[in-house]
Amino acid sequence: MSGSVVTWLLVGLAGAAGTLLRYGLGGWLARATGGVFPWETWVINTLGCLVIGVLAGLFDRGALLPPSVRMALMVGLIGGFTTFSTFALDAFRLAAVGQWMAAASYVLLTNLVGFAALLAGYKAVLVV
């Protein structure tokens, strides 16, 4: 098991908070927008990307937070809120070092394979 027990606990607690925040905000947005378009997912993913971008920028500029707090914020809180932000940060990191083809491939493959996997899982349940 990597990381300290404190880090695991902080990530778990922050993850629960992020999940509850997503649940509350998503429900409110669905009611507010009528649920015709998945605005709740779009808003949550966009907010998560904004926050993880701010945090990554702060940490890259040398913001001094203990590693356990960094993990709690980025993996726990934001990861519980939306993992899409981590996907976007991974793609950004590739592009930021000039790996544009890898970034584009990652975005394309993640979306296409993710959609295909969802479809396969859905169809598998219908067959059983």
Q: Which of 95, 76, 92, 93 is nearest to 13 (CA)?
A: 76
**Mean pLDDT confidence for 64-92:** 93
Q: How far apart are CA 8 and CA 84, in angstroms?
A: 21
- DSSP H helices, 1-128, are 5-33, 39-60, 67-71, 79-81, 84-96, 100-127
Please report the pLDDT score of residue 29 as a whole number.
Answer: 94
With a cut of 70, say whether residue 2 has pLDDT above it: no
Tell me the whole-structure pTM to 2 decimals.
Answer: 0.82
With a cut of 60, say whether residue 112 has pLDDT above it: yes
With a cut of 60, say whether residue 78 has pLDDT above it: yes
Mean pLDDT over each residue of the chain, to the nearest integer:
93
The predicted-structure confidence for 8-38, as pLDDT tens digits, reads as follows 999 999 999 999 999 999 999 999 999 888 9
